[in-house]
Structure 1
């Protein structure tokens, strides 16, 4: 009897060309590595479905994925096998059986992303793969004002790198939280879905506000323009983490 298995995965995306499997001759991906180990484990050709397609260099605390198999292995046996044979920068924290119709991507109701920005006097050598360092002092109050204008349902085409998309670019952001201490500023973006590079462009634009290069009020005009060139730079990949997927 075919089973539908769900995985809860965390990974360091530093050395990968993103989540999505690429064709032969292309780079190494998270999905590709997982599918290789899953196929050896089950003796089947496994196709893994991920909740989100994180970009090259982006990390995940909780990526959700599922696959179908006829294997009789117990879930704890799968978890043990996967963590034994996967590289050290990918870990599977949970394995469980789910209903046949469960789909990691289509059933997802919301996602939460975390972006980490180092702001100390000296960039931390050991955090360089997981934060984007700002040499400029950032005005957190101004950034929060700008972020508040993005909350709600809007057309986020100006915050999308894919110029050729024919699909709707309307998304709803439920909340943007900005927290800062003496060494790090963290931006958490929570919404029902995200466009290509959307979170990184939001962060890049908020940083420009924090530097005083833009006024918070400009966010409304950027949204209304639906023009990518009106928004800020795309923030570096290494500071971004997929934090949680809700169902």
Structure 2
């Protein structure tokens, strides 16, 4: 088996915009256990085959098991000769080497030292719900199917208290918050009803500077308690103020969550032309 070369002195950075259907993966990040399939593991294997060297990846956000992405950004240091690879060649190589559930959408160049994680200004997630008695078919693996209608107006009013800089300890996995800062800045939230593949969906969109482990899914699970009229709208603000995971609602399933976008400073990423 051919030995991979050690990475040389980095001159710049290559950034990939990645999309994936996360249902068959144990999240984005690679795991220490053998035999665990992850998005990062598949991507790193493909890149190392293509570039014939070791690659260290940095992602914009580590999605949980089963979560999907339309715009996950991944960066890694590049050698001089790799900066001359055309976008068409990148896309064809990655299409051949990656499983069908993962696809590179765009390729960028960035300055040396760029980090897909630390240079991100904001991240956007979209959570989709099918709140109707008839079962979704074409969107089945991309929505949380609830067999009853939700009061999305009440959910929107309840979600308004989440906007701004807050301690979101109530809305993250308890074990992940131990000894770590849990303050985040949520910039916007909103609900919208629409039609995807001919099926009605209720979409919740949230944008923030960063997110805690399971934060979006816990917020959605909490808001559904309001939308189903099991809880008052004021309960969400009370749960937020409690800074206690037990004060909030259940964690929504991973199926409906999509990592939808990342914002970076203007001019930092240079897209490669096809």
TM-score (norm 2): 0.86
Aligned counterparts of 2:171 and 2:86: Cα–Cα separation in 1: 40
1:176 to 186, 189, 195: 189
Secondary structure at the counterpart of residue 72 of structure 1: helix
The offset of 1:24, in angstroms, is: 4.3
For residue 141 of structure 2, give the secondary structure of its aligned residue in structure 1.
Answer: coil
For residue 246 of structure 2, the aligned residue among 207, 229, 247 is 229
Whether 1:138 aligns to 2:150 is yes
Give 3-state SS (helix, strand or coil) of 2:22's partner: coil
1:81 deviation in Å?
A: 0.7
Matching residue of 1:117? 129
Q: Give the secondary-structure state (helix, strand or coil) at the position aligned to 2:23.
A: coil
Unaligned runs of 5+ in 1: none
Deviations, residues 23-80 of structure 1 (Å, cap 9, x unaligned): 2424100000000010011110111111100000000010000112326241422222
The unaligned stretches of length 5 or more in structure 2 are: 1-8, 265-274
CA contact (8 A) 2:133 2:146 kept: no
Partner of 1:211: 228
Tell me the CA shift for residue 140 of structure 1: 1.1
CA distance in 2, matches of 1:181, 1:72: 46
1:94 matched residue in structure 2: 106
Query: Which residue is 2:271 aligned to?
Result: none
Kept in 2: contact 1:120–1:184 (CA 8 A): no
Residue 4 of structure 2: aligned partner: none
Deviation string for 1:100-145 (max 9, x for gaps)?
0110001111100000001233111222211000112211111011
Q: How many residues align?
A: 247
Output one character per residue of 1:195-224: Cα deviation in whole Å (capped at 9) or x when no partner. Answer: 110000000000010000111111221111
SS of residue in 1 equivalent to 2:138? helix
Distance (whole Å) between structure 1 residues aligned to residue 186 and residue 256 of structure 2? 20
Structure 1 pair 71/82, CA: closer, same or farther in 2 (3 Å)?
farther
Distance across 1 between alignment mates of 2:33 and 2:215? 28
What SS does structure 2 have at the residue aligned with 1:241?
strand
**Are 1:44 and 1:69, in contact at CA under 8 Å, matched by a contact in 2?**
no
Q: CA RMSD in A?
A: 1.4
**2:237 corresponding residue in structure 1:** 220
Q: Deviations over 1:147-183 (max 9, x none)?
A: 1111111110000113343221111111111012582
Cα distance change on mapping 1:71 and 1:22 into 2, 3 Å: farther
Match of 1:166 among 174, 179, 182: 179
Match of 2:42 in 1: 33
Is 1:85 matched with 2:94?
no
Q: In 2, are the aligned partners of 1:117 and 1:239 still within 8 Å (CA)? A: yes
